[in-house]
Amino acid sequence: MAYSEEIRKRRTFAIVSHPDAGKTTLTEKLLLFGGAIHVAGAVKSNKIRKTATSDWMDIEKQRGISVATSVMAFDYAGHKINILDTPGHQDFAEDTFRTLTAVDSVIIVIDIAKGVETQTRKLMEVCRMRKTPVIVFVNKMDRDGKDPFDLLDEIEEELQIKVRPLSWPIDMGQAFRGVYNIYEKKLDLYTPSKQYVTESLEFKDIQNPELEKHIGPGLAGSLRADLELIEGVYPSFDVETYLRGDIAPVFFGSALNNFGVKELLDCFIRIAPSPRPVQALERRVEPEEENFSGFVFKIHANMDPNHRSCIAFVKVCSGHFERNVNYRHVRFDKLMRFSSPTAFMAQKKETVEEAFAGDIIGLPDTGNFKIGDTLTAGEELHFKGLPSFSPEMFKYIENADPMKAKQLNKGIGQLMDEGVAQLFTNQFNGRKIIGTVGQLQFEVIQYRLLHEYGAQCKWEPISLYKACWIASDKKETLENFRKRKMQYMALDKEGREVYLADSAYVLAMAQHDFPDISFHFSSEF
C-alpha cells in the first residue's frame, strides 16, 4: 500500500490526568524535545512567565487550568506525533471522553504525592471500554510522595490494570538522584533544570561497582534490591499485551524539571500503536485503505479572535486527505471542498496540503458540522461512540443587554456546537436552559460570551434533576406524556424531545407510569 509507510510513522495519543497532576507541563516538555517550541511554558498564571503552549485561551491563562482539548503535532525521530492535551477538570470531562475516541493510545499522568484520583479513575474506564493502550507517567518525583511500590499497588487496584515499571526512581523529594531506565538499561542522573536534558549513562550490568561512584553505596544497594523485587513480582514487559490494553508500562520523572520525559518519549515511539482500525456502524475501517474517511470529534469557536471562525477537528481514519478535493459530508449527503485545512500547534495553525490516517486536521466551519459528522471519499459511513450525556446542572440563560441579542444567540449557538454544554428550549415558556456537568462551565460560557462575542448574559436558577431524551413507537402515549408533563418538555439543539425531570422521585414515577416510553440518559450525536 502506498500509504502504509506514512501511516506507520504516526502516533496519535491523548495525555489525561486529574487536575494539577502535571499533564500540560508534560505536554510542553514533549514539544520541547520535538523542537516544536524552544522554551517550555508554565501553566500557573504569572505575568513574567511564558504560559503553556496548549493553554492558549485567556481564561486558561488566568485560571491556570486547561478548559479545552488542544491539538499539537510535531516530528520526532522519524515519527509524526499528534498530542491531544485534554482538560483534567471534571467539569470538562465530556470534552475529554470525546477526545479519547480520536486517539490510538493514552498517557496517564499521576502525581506521586496524591496517587490515583477520581478523575483518573473515570478516564481509565473509558480507555478500558475502548481497549486503548495506556502508559503511566508518575510525575513530581522531585517532591516527597508515596512509596513507589505502594503506588504501583494502588494503580493496579484503582485502575484495574496490571502494571510493569520500565524505569525506577532512585529516592525522591530533596534526595531524588534520578532513575534507572529498565527498558534501555541506562542510568539517568538528575540535575534540576527547567529547560535542559539531564545526562544518561549506559549501564547494562546493575551489579557493576561503578554504580556506587554515581549514587553512593546506600542508594546503590537499595536500587539493586528494588530491581530484583520488580523482576520477581511484575510480569515481564510484552508489547502485544500492552497493545491489547492489558498491561500499563510505568515511567517515573519530573515533567517540570524535564526529567524522565525523553525516556518516556523514546519508549513511546517504539511501542505505541500506529493508527488502528475504527469501527463504523456499517463496517470496520482499516487505516491503510486508499479512500479517505474521518469524523468530527470536536468543534472549537474563535480559535482566531480576529476572525470569529469555528474550526471542526477531524480525525482521519483511513486513506489520504488532500486539500481542494471534494469529499462527501454524509449527514447532508453533499460534496464539500476544503481550500484551507490546517494542522495545529495549539492556537497557531498552518495550512496543510495532505493528511494521512491518524492525523488530526482542522476544517473551517461555517455551521456545516456537528460533533460525530463523517466525511468520506463517497462511501456511506457513520462512526459511532460520540454520545452527549445528560447534564447534572441547569440554569436559565438570559440576555443582560437587549442591544446584543443577535451576538448572544450566535455565541450560544457556536459554544453549544463545541459540546461545551447543552442547550434546551422549554416548550412551555420558550426560555433557554443551559445544562452542564459542573459549575465552572457556566463561568467559562459567561466569560467567553463577553470576551469573544461582546454579549452579556445572566443566569437564573432552575431546579432540575436530569434531562432525558424520550422515544416511543406509540404516538398516543407520547401525546399523553407531553400533556401531562407540559411544563417540563423541551427541545435540544437538534430538535429532539427532552423531558426535564425535577427530581429522582418524579423521574422514577414517570418511568413507572409510562412503560411504553424509553428514557435515555445519553444521546448519540
At 477-506, the pLDDT tens digits run: 999 999 999 999 999 888 889 999 989 899
Q: How many CB atoms lie within 10 A of CB 303?
A: 22
Give me the CATH topology for the region 278-376.
Rossmann fold (3.40.50)
The top-level CATH class assigned to 4-271 is: alpha beta
- The pLDDT of residue 293 is 93
Q: Check pLDDT > 90 for residue 154.
A: yes
Q: What is the pLDDT of residues 59-112, one digit of tens each?
A: 444 544 433 446 777 888 888 888 876 654 444 456 667 777 888 899 999 999
Name the DSSP class of 193: -
Q: Return the biggest CA–CA distance within the chain.
A: 84
C-alpha cell read off for 149: 511500590
CA–CA gap between residue 22 and residue 85 (Å, rounded):
11
Residue 76, φ and ψ in degrees, nearest 5: -150, 125
3-state secondary structure of 467: strand
CA atoms within 13 A on the CB side of 426: 20
5, containing H or E segment: helix 4-8
- The pLDDT of residue 151 is 93
Q: Check pLDDT > 90 for residue 371.
A: no
Output the average pLDDT for the chain. 81
In percent, the amount of the chain with pLDDT more than 90 equals 23
| Architecture per CATH, 387-524 | 2-Layer Sandwich (3.30)
- Residues with Cβ within 8 Å of 146's Cβ and at least 6 positions away in sequence, in order, are 112, 113, 115, 154
- Among 18-27, 43-52, 309-318, 449-458, the range scoring the smallest mean pLDDT is 43-52
Average pLDDT, stretch 260-269? Answer: 87
Which ranges constitute the DSSP H helices of 46-117?
58-63, 93-99
CA–CA gap between residue 12 and residue 242 (Å, rounded):
16
- 128 band by pLDDT with thresholds 50, 70 and 90: confident
Buried residues in 110-123 as b, exposed as e (16+ CB within 10 A): bbbeebbbebbeeb
Q: Check pLDDT > 80 for residue 203.
A: no
CA–CA gap between residue 147 and residue 138 (Å, rounded):
12
- 243 band by pLDDT with thresholds 50, 70 and 90: very high
Name the DSSP class of 59: H
- Cβ atoms of 58 and 12 within 8 Å: the answer is no
Q: What is the pLDDT of residues 26-54, one digit of tens each?
A: 888 887 776 654 443 433 333 333 444 44
Q: What is the pLDDT of residues 379-395, one digit of tens each?
A: 888 887 555 667 778 99
- 122 band by pLDDT with thresholds 50, 70 and 90: confident
Average pLDDT, stretch 273-283? Answer: 88
- Residues with Cβ within 8 Å of 36's Cβ and at least 6 positions away in sequence, in order, are 53, 72, 74, 345
C-alpha cell read off for 135: 502508559
Least Cα distance to 467 among 364, 387, 407, 412 occurs for 387
- Cβ atoms of 329 and 449 within 8 Å: the answer is no
Q: Which residue(s) pair with 321 in the sheet?
A: 355
How remote is the C-alpha of 13 from its chain's centroid? 9
- Cβ atoms of 273 and 295 within 8 Å: the answer is no
In percent, the amount of the chain with pLDDT more than 70 equals 83
- 303 band by pLDDT with thresholds 50, 70 and 90: low
- The pLDDT of residue 488 is 92
- Cβ atoms of 56 and 346 within 8 Å: the answer is yes
Placement of cell 399523553 in the chain: 480
Which comes out higher in pLDDT, residue 297 or 491?
Answer: 491
C-alpha cell read off for 447: 466569560
Residue 25, φ and ψ in degrees, nearest 5: -65, -40
For CATH 3.30.70.3280, list the domain ranges present in the chain: 387-524
Q: Check pLDDT > 60 for residue 430.
A: yes
Average pLDDT, stretch 439-445? Answer: 80
Q: What is the pLDDT of residues 318-347, one digit of tens each?
A: 988 998 899 999 988 999 999 888 876 544
For CATH 3.40.50.300, list the domain ranges present in the chain: 4-271, 278-376
Q: What HEC string does 341-397 produce?
A: CEEEECCEEEECCEEECCCEEEEEECCCCCCCCEEECCCCCCECCCEEECCCEEEEE
